[in-house]
Amino acid sequence: MFKRQALNLLEHPEKAKSWISTFDNVLCDCDGVLWLYDKEIEGSVKVVNRLKQIGKGVYFATNNSTKTRPEFLEKAIRMGFNMKEDEILSTAYTAAQYLKNRNFNKKVYVIGSTGITKELDAVGIKHTGVGPDYLETNLANFLNNKFEQDDEVGAVIVGFDEYFSFPKMTRAASYLSKPNSIFIATNTDERFPMPNFVVPGTGSIVKAIETCAERSAVVMGKPNANMCEPLLVDGKITPERTLMVGDRCNTDILFGNNCGFQTLLVGTGIHNLDDVSCYKKSNDEETHKLIPDAYLPKFGDLLQFLL
């Protein structure tokens, strides 16, 4: 309706009200839209629950690989969100499903957390690697005494790993040099939305592994359209009548545009209207895919337009 205009809905309330009827389903990013860590972003519970009340379908698409779907659900319900497990699309879940659908019967080397390994356990796939793995003395000692390759490993999944280390990088790249090994990244987010620090995100780790493995990963998360495939296959959503809400243009908004959805950027996370102004000045068609249709300072601001 406002195709790639980044229309500030607060300045156009009448347009915003009529726009609501142009979508049936909403896909929400979580970190930076609904919550920041364990704290709800003001108004997000009310707006999600109200959207459902007026008959919109709401799905939750998160690139965060550190939690399983039941763990996401528990966190959301604790905050007051009306949410069900089958409304959650997480990258750890999608990665496990990806291997299951390809009848993968070997072991996975995981750079990541129990968010990934629990989803692998749920589909009966063996795994190794999760937890601390640091260089005790030096590289020579590690290579000669600590590094034994597991012949059963046939895939590497890379997600967020706070214990990421030189030994982990060496193991992953070595497994990825095997012919026919599968290389999956949960997502490519560069950093976490935090006010005073730069915390490296999964994308930083993925780039490191891709560089030393000399090959590219299959990415499960946004902006890859893989993320919403289950919803499209089951006919649960119609792309042009679906709204994607996110705080990050190069994942959420690009994902929405890649899938043919309408898009709403909220200013409670990574990107804001200043970033969008830069994209608008670009002559590059790919950069224009980062421009949202609409903008709100926070997701909760949508509530006033939901009659």
Residues in binding contact with Mg ion, number by CB under 5 A: 5
189 is catalytic: no
Distance (Å, whole) CA 1 – CA 227:
24
Q: Which is nearer to Mg ion, 27 or 108 (CB)?
A: 27
Q: Does 275 engage in binding with Mg ion (CB under 5 A)?
A: no
Give the number of C-alpha atoms closer than 13 A to the C-alpha of residue 6, restricted to the C-beta side. Answer: 23
161 is catalytic: no
Rank residues 125 and 228 by Cβ distance to Mg ion and give the closer one: 228
> Mind giving me the DSSP string for 205-237?
HHHHHHHHHTSPPEE-STTSGGGGHHHHHTT--
**Given the complex with Mg ion, which of 31 and 293 has the nearer CB atom?**
31
Please say whether the beta carbons of 200 and 161 come within 8 A.
no
Cα distances from 287 to residues 186, 235, 240, in angstroms, run 23, 30, 21
Give whichever of 247 and 293 is closer to Mg ion, judged by the CB atom: 247
Q: Does 32 bind Mg ion (CB under 5 A)?
A: yes
Is residue 189 involved in binding Mg ion (CB under 5 A)?
Answer: no
Residue among 24, 31, 150, 293 flagged as catalytic: 31
Nearest distance from C-beta of residue 43 to Mg ion, angstroms? 16
Total residue count of the chain as it appears in this document: 307
> What is the footprint of Mg ion within residues 233-252 (CB under 5 A)?
247
When asked if residue 29 is in the footprint of Mg ion (CB under 5 A), the reply is: yes
Give catalytic residue positions: 29, 31
Interaction site with Mg ion (CB under 5 A): 29, 31-32, 247, 269
